[in-house]
Every structure is written in C-alpha cells, then in structure tokens.
Amino acid sequence: MIELKTSSELKQMMEACKIAAGALKAAGEAVKPGVSTAYVDSVAHEYIVKHGAVPTFLGYNGFPAASCISINDEVIHGIPSKSRIIQEGDIVSVDTGATFKGFVGDNAATFAAGEISPEAQRLCDATRESLYEGIKMAVAGNRIGDIGSAIQRYCEERGFSVVREFTGHGCGRVMHEDPSVPNYGTPGRGVRLQAGMTIAIEPMINMGTARIRQLPDGWTIKTGDGKPSAHFEHTIAITSNGPVILTQI
C-alpha cells in the first residue's frame, strides 16, 4: 500500500532527511586513503545521534552499523570494518539513513578516495546524473517506469549497466515502503505517481556486467565481473509543484 503524506508530514519527514543528508556529507568528508570503513561509519553514526535521530540501518534485519560502505566492485550493503582500509584511488559508496520523529530519510553517494581513474570518475558522474534524470521524471501523473527508463537510458547510453535485483523504494514512516522503484523500465508503465508520495530513488550502476553476487557474509553485494560500481540515492517527495529532494542540504 502506498502511503501519501500530507504537507505537514512532509515537513516533518524533511527533518529526518536533512539529518540523513548531513550524516552522508560528514561521512563523505571522512573518506580518505588510510582510514577504515568503520571510522567512516562512526562519523555518520555520531552525526545522526548528535542530531537527536536514530541510525535507521543499525539493527535493520540485523545489519550491524549505521551505514553500508561498499568499495570499488562492492555494489551495496558492505559492512563497515576496522580492518577494511580505504586505499588511494578507491571509490567508496556510503549509504545511510536517519529516523527522526517517526520518519526516515535515506540517501547514498559514491566518494573518491584521493585520485581516481578517469573511468571510475565517468562511472560516478553518470550514476549521479542518472539519479537527477530519474528525479526529473518524478512528477505527479507520470509512472514509475518513467523514472526507471530515464535512469536506464542515461547509463546505458554511456556504456554502463543497471543492477536489476535491487531497486529504490517508497520511504516514509519506515525505510522500505511501497512502491518499489526500479532503475530500469518502460516509459508510461507501472504505478502512477501522485502528489504526497515519498520515494527513495537509488541507481546502482556497474561499469561492466549488470550481474551481481552476494558474499558469504550475507550482506555484501559485488559485481559479477569485479569491475567497479557506483550508487547515488536521494529521498524525494512528489508534490503538486514537482519533485522536491528531501535529502538535499
């Protein structure tokens, strides 16, 4: 069931989203060669708690941290670790969320550690831009397939591939609400978008094959061919005045 939010609920939800955005920004600034992914996670965690919110990811289906941190060929759901040290040239995807006064904000971005390869830069740029292409289509009266097809077209035109097994999602009083928001699709198909819907759009884009595999840790998702992957996410609201990015700071 899709839960539409009133404008006062959207205002409240925006507070959770701003905290999630601040945590992501702080974590991104902490990404540097030589630091552990556990340290980057601790920065996000402390930011969320300091702002009176609860780290949404911590304990979610048993996940042990406030953020997922996924390096290079890790697509999503990497578990922060003191022994995982970020190296020069890595691309580091951080995904984090905050729960505040009954609402959730969810966002992600891929950060460069030091100097990255031009190919990795192109992948990150295309993934970020594809998110904005998707957001542009998040207009009342459009359909879910309009979002996914815009993301897919933008990335595939640049030679990249779209992960199919994981998607964006409704986000509101809980992190994962209906509907699911695939990063591929057919224009004009799927659920009709309405003012009051709040969704997380999150392209997960691979440099090589779209295939993925899960590590034995039960969480980490990697690309099937070992090539890098990038991930950007915003929680947005569909309003009568167009899409509003709630996790923008």
Eight-state DSSP code of residue 1: -
Residue 34 or 59: which CB sits closer to Mg ion?
A: 59
Residue 118 beta carbon to Mg ion: minimum distance, rounded to whole angstroms: 28
71 DSSP β-pair partners: 92
For residues 37 and 56, what is the distance between their CA atoms, to the nearest angstrom? Answer: 18
Residue 32 or 166: which CB sits closer to Mg ion?
A: 166
Residue 219 beta carbon to Mg ion: minimum distance, rounded to whole angstroms: 14
Of the ranges 15-23, 106-114, 206-214, 215-223, which one interacts with Mg ion (CB under 5 A)? Answer: 106-114
Residue 177 or 202: which CB sits closer to Mg ion?
A: 202
For Mg ion, which residue of 15, 41, 73, 106 counts as binding (CB under 5 A)? 106
**Residue among 67, 152, 146, 161 nearest 109 (CA):** 67
CB atoms within 10 A of CB 118: 7
Of the ranges 27-35, 99-107, 109-117, 181-189, which one interacts with Mg ion (CB under 5 A)? Answer: 99-107
CB atoms within 10 A of CB 167: 20
Residue 161 beta carbon to Mg ion: minimum distance, rounded to whole angstroms: 20
**What is each CA distance from 120 to 127, 207, 213, in whole angstroms?**
11, 8, 20
Residue owning tokens 């992190």: 175
3-class DSSP string for 33-88: CCCEHHHHHHHHHHHHHHCCCEECCCCHHHCCCCEEEEECCEEECCCCCCCCECCC
Binding string, 58-97, against Mg ion, x = CB under 5 A?
----------------------------------------
Binding string, 192-231, against Mg ion, x = CB under 5 A?
--------x-x-----------------------------
Residue 107 beta carbon to Mg ion: minimum distance, rounded to whole angstroms: 8
Please report, as ranges, the residues that interact with Mg ion according to CB under 5 A: 106, 200, 202
